[in-house]
Amino acid sequence: MKLVRSINSRLIPNSGCVLTIGKFDAVHIGHQKILKQLVEVGKKMGLPAVVMTFAPNPEEYFRKQDAPPRLTTISSQYFALRDQGVSLMLAIPFNKMLARTSAENFIQTYLIDGLKAKYISIGDDFKFGKGRKGDYQILKQAGLNNGFEVGRFETINVGHSRVSSTRICESLSAGRFDEVDVLLGRKFAMVGRVMHGDKRGREWGFPTANIAINRKIPMTGVFAVTVRGLNDDHVHAQIKGVANLGMRPTVDGMKTLLEVHLFDFNQRIYGNRICVEFVAKIRDEKKFESFEALKSQIFIDCERAKEILDAGN
């Protein structure tokens, strides 16, 4: 699968495509149903399946700090979409120019001239263009005028509620990981590159792989996790561990960080991209009276994480 960030990229297929548009933040089971159908249509038409999304998404652009938490980065979206058989991910920068683009100009510039879309599938509540004036009916009429088909998909329910990114965020915040697994069809994960930290964990005997988090997140705390993608020889291997996600109030409380201590693993993996899958929440993040108290709690957290992960085997 290819990732491009401009409608003018040379990697965009010249022969046209089948397309869906949206945030696709979680790539949850509702999204997966849409993508499966899109890929099947693409195979029948002999065209690649393309997902158009936005970075930042419109809510983040307009609401800034008041925007809801985001479940995925572009990197984690990429891997989730790739697993669904998508051929191309187009992550368009959402900026002032795009915000001012009318629905009609958006259709002409992006969907007809840029992507040469032959089939477009959108959600039943999808809006686009300046003032959110574009909708299914406008797109349907444009399709009739310009020779492309338009399909519409409805949201799906699990239990008595619709599957949505908002519902997943609420479940993550409450620590209901069994429910999250059902809504996502997989474990919730964060993807990022391992960076150098302050080495404090190594000094304490708990070295960590650190990933910077540069977005609003739906949860904080200490979690039992598994990690994969450590290197070319371990792409599919899972290493068990314990992770702290949050502001590290005992240490500095200045930035959001994902710190993962891997069990029975001592390789240097700085610069590697890893995928951290969250299995269960152990406790909330808290500020300890001393570093010694924090060290004692980390030992307890490790033992608890091992119990949870070993029980899952």
Sheet strands (E) in the chain: 2-4, 17-21, 49-54, 88-92, 117-123, 149-153, 157-158, 161-162, 189-193, 209-212, 221-228, 239-246, 257-262, 273-283
Are residues 236 and 83 in contact, defined by beta-carbon separation less than 8 angstroms?
Answer: no
> Reduced to 3 states, what is the DSSP secondary structure of residue 193?
strand
- How many residues belong to the chain? 313
Q: What pLDDT score does 123 carry?
A: 84
The DSSP secondary-structure symbol of 302 reads H
Mean pLDDT per block of 10 residues along the chain (313 residues) reads 93 94 92 94 97 92 89 88 95 94 96 97 89 94 96 87 93 95 94 77 71 90 89 64 83 79 86 92 88 88 95 74
DSSP conformation class of 230: S
Measured distance between the N- and C-terminal CA atoms of the chain, rounded to whole angstroms? 32
Specify the pLDDT at position 135: 93
Backbone angles phi, psi at 135, to 5 degrees: -150, -170
d(CA 196, CA 97): 37
Taking the C-alpha atoms of residue 284 and residue 244, their distance in angstroms, rounded to an integer, is 9
